[in-house]
Amino acid sequence: MLTLRSPAKINLFLRILSKRVDGYHSLASLFQAIDLADEITFTPSHTSRDHLTCTDPSIPTDPKNLILKAAHLFRRKTGFKQYFNIHLSKKIPAEAGLGGGSSNAATTLWACNQLSGSPATIENLLTWSSEIGSDIPFFLSEGTAYCTGRGEIVQNLSPLQLPSERKMWIIKPAFGCATKDVYANLKLVSLPPRDVEEELKSSLAGNPAYFNDLEEAAFTVNPALKNFKQELLSSGFETVLLSGSGSSFFCIGKNAPPTLANTKAFQVNFTSRKQNSWYL
């Protein structure tokens, strides 16, 4: 039996560069893992199928779940024959832009590799993972990474720290955002020009650049999100930025979250993992 944490992520910045012929978008993003995390337990099964259970009844536990896709992918790539009973203790909100499903998939690949005597390298896992989702490779980095391509080209970076004395909150409204819809409403020509390499340098030198090219598209899909951001700013945060395709925001600059109806708030910190171990 193996129990592993499965952390969420935020995009400290997210630049969309172009639309590709395969329908995906080329991006350049500084990804950061945070300590809001699910927990997944893997128990070898004597049957010839995986069985997934979850504390949250709204999460599908059928073969569409990325955990089951990842276990299947690992067996296909390595010839590993073991199946598992898998229990997902869910804390990361879904449709929030926090990468919960992608993180669960990366955690499953790591677990399968551990439980089968490590036939794959981390580079193998990372390359394979991009076949089932663009955000999964990031979670096989060490927690801070600059990701390009459609997200699957991952450059590991030294761990970043939250700006000193600052608390960070993830605040999620009751509704979620579907990633596909947000990308479909993106107006590339309206995006402000930016030198993304300079933004990266500045972020790594301690002057973080916070921007997200998907924010306006998410506001188009769900106009209530724009009002929600305004409310968060009016409550006194210095920085309020949509995470990924939303609907959660990361907020910096206040010691306590505002009391807003139908809203979840989590105080978070940046997290990382050591080269040969998983997130603790």
Helix, coil or strand: residue 15: strand
Window contacting ligand C5P (CB under 6 A); options: 31-39, 68-76, 175-183, 268-276: 175-183
CA distance 168 to 231: 17
Helix, coil or strand: residue 224: helix
Closer residue to ligand C5P (CB): 7 or 100: 100
Site membership for ligand C5P, residue 134 (CB under 6 A): yes
How many chain residues touch ligand C5P (CB under 6 A)? 11
Question: What's the alpha-carbon Rg for the chain, to the nearest Å?
Answer: 18
E strand intervals along 73-210: 83-89, 144-148, 153-156, 168-173
Question: Could you say which of 12, 33, 96, 135 contacts ligand C5P (CB under 6 A)?
Answer: 135
CA distance 228 to 231: 5
| DSSP state letter for 153 | E
Q: Residue 221, Cβ neighbours under 10 Å: how many?
A: 18
What tokens were used for 37? Answer: 């995390």
Question: Could you say which of 49, 180, 187, 201 contacts ligand C5P (CB under 6 A)?
Answer: 180
Site membership for ligand C5P, residue 183 (CB under 6 A): yes
Contact present, 183 and 214 (Cβ < 8 Å): yes
CB of residue 181 to ligand C5P, shortest distance in Å: 9
Site membership for ligand C5P, residue 225 (CB under 6 A): no
Residues belonging to the active site: 9, 135
Site membership for ligand C5P, residue 187 (CB under 6 A): no
Question: Could you say which of 137, 151, 208, 246 contacts ligand C5P (CB under 6 A)?
Answer: 151
Question: To which residue do tokens 């995009």 refer?
Answer: 11
CA distance 116 to 135: 24
Closer residue to ligand C5P (CB): 103 or 168: 103
Site membership for ligand C5P, residue 128 (CB under 6 A): no
Site membership for ligand C5P, residue 173 (CB under 6 A): no
Closer residue to ligand C5P (CB): 134 or 203: 134
Chain residues in the site for ligand C5P (CB under 6 A): 24-25, 27, 133-135, 150-151, 179-180, 183
